[in-house]
Chain A
Amino acid sequence: MTDIWDEADRERALARTFTRRGLLVGLGQAAVFAGIGARLYQLQVVERGRYVPLADQNRLDVQILAPVRGRIVDSTGLVLADNEEGFRVILTPALAGDLTSVLRRLSHILPMSTEKRQQLAVRARRQSRNAPLVIASDVTFEQLAEINLLAPELPGVRTEITWKRRYCEGETMGHVVGYIGAVVKGELDADDDPVLRVPGMRTGKTGIELALEKELRGKPGTERTEVDARGRTMRALAREEPQPGRDARLTIDTRLQRKVLARLARERQAAVVALDVETGAVKVMASVPTFDPTDLAAGLSSRTWRRLVTIASRPMLNRAVSGVYPPGSTFKMITALAALHANVVTPKEHMACGGAFEFAGKTFRCWSRSGHGSVDLHRAIRESCDVYFYEIARRAGIDAIADMARHLGLGRTYPTEIALQKAGVIPDPDWKRQTLAKQWLGGETILAGIGQGYVAATPLQLAVMTARVATGRMVMPTLLQPEPDAAHEEFKSLGLEPAWLDVVRAGMAAVVNEDGGTGRGARLEDDRVRLAGKTGTSQVNRASSDRVQSEIDWAQRDHALFVAYFPYDKPRYAVAAIVEHGGGGGATAAPLVREIAETILAHDAERQSEVPPPQLPSAAPPKREG
Chain B
Amino acid sequence: MRRMFSSGRPHTLGARLWRLDWTLLLVVALLAGIGVGMLTSVNGGSFQPYAERHALRFLIGLGIVIAMAVTPLRLWMRLAYPAFAVGVVLLALVPLVGVEALGARRWLGIGGMTFQPSEIIKIALVAALARYYHDLGPERISRPTWVLVPLLMIAVPVMLTLRQPDLGTAVLFACCGLGLMLLAGVHWAYFTAGTIASLAAIPLALSRLHGYQRKRLEVFFDPDRDPLGAGYHITQAKIALGSGGVSGKGFMQGTQSQLDFVPEKHTDFILAILGEEWGFVGTAAVLLLFALLVTMALVAALRAESQFARLVIAGFALTVFIYAAINMAMVTGVAPVVGVPLPLISYGGTNMITLMISLGLAMSAHVHARDGLYGD
Contact = CB atoms under 8 A, between A and B. Distances in A.
Interface string A15-59: 101110110011001101101110111011101101110111001
A40 B275 contact: yes
A546 interface: no
B332 A43 contact: yes
A332 B275 CA distance: 86
B88 to A, nearest CB: 26
B332 to A, nearest CB: 5
A51 to B, nearest CB: 3
Interface string A312-323: 000000000000
Given A40-B284, A52-B243, A56-B255, A30 B227 contact: no
A437 interface: no
Most A C-beta atoms less than 10 A away, residue of B137, B242, B245, B302: B242
A41 to B, nearest CB: 6
Contact of A3 (B1, B238, B241, B307): B1
Contacts of B283: 40, 44
A370 interface: no
Interface stretch (B19-27, B94-102, B202-210, B291-299): B291-299
A54 B242 contact: yes
B325 interface: yes
A19 B328 CA distance: 28
Interface string A132-158: 000000000000000000000000000
Size band of the B side of the interface? 35 or more
B228 A94 contact: no
Main secondary structure of the interface of A (DSSP, over half): helix
Given A4-B4, A44-B280, A55-B255, A25 B183 contact: yes
A26 B138 contact: no
B290 interface: yes
Contacts of A50: 242
B301 interface: yes
A15 B309 CA distance: 11
B375 to A, nearest CB: 12
A10 interface: yes
Contacts of A47: 242
- Would you call the interface of chain B mostly helix, strand, loop, or mixed? helix
B132 to A, nearest CB: 13
Nearest to B243: A55
Given A22-B302, A29-B294, A55 B307 contact: no
Contacts of A37: 284, 287
A25 B298 contact: yes
Contacts of A17: 138, 184-185
- Which interface class (under 10, 10 to 19, 20 to 34, 35 or more) fits A? 35 or more
Nearest to A47: B242
Contacts of B138: 10, 13-14, 17
B1 A22 contact: no
Interface in B309-330: 310, 314, 317-318, 321, 325, 328-329
Contact of A29 (B291, B333, B334): B291
Interface in B236-263: 238-246, 255-256, 259-261
Contacts of A3: 1
Contacts of A25: 179, 182-183, 298, 314, 318
Given A36-B325, A39-B332, A44 B246 contact: yes
B117 interface: no
A56 B261 CA distance: 11
A541 interface: no
Contact of B298 (A10, A26, A35, A52): A26
Contacts of B291: 29-30, 33
B5 interface: yes
Interface in B53-106: none
B238 to A, nearest CB: 6
A44 B279 contact: yes
24 contacts: A4-B4, A11-B307, A13-B138, A17-B138, A21-B185, A22-B302, A26-B294, A29-B317, A30-B291, A36-B325, A36-B328, A39-B332, A41-B284, A43-B332, A44-B241, A44-B242, A44-B245, A44-B279, A45-B245, A59-B261, A60-B228, A94-B259, A129-B260, A130-B260
Interface of A: 3-4, 7-8, 10-11, 13-15, 17-19, 21-22, 25-26, 29-30, 32-33, 35-37, 39-41, 43-45, 47-48, 50-52, 54-56, 59-60, 62, 94, 129-130
Interface of B: 1, 3-5, 137-138, 179, 182-185, 227-228, 238-246, 255-256, 259-261, 275-276, 279-280, 283-284, 287, 290-291, 294-295, 298, 301-302, 305-307, 310, 314, 317-318, 321, 325, 328-329, 332-334
The 9 closest A-B pairs by CB, nearest first: A51-B242, A55-B243, A17-B185, A44-B280, A48-B245, A51-B243, A43-B242, A52-B243, A39-B332
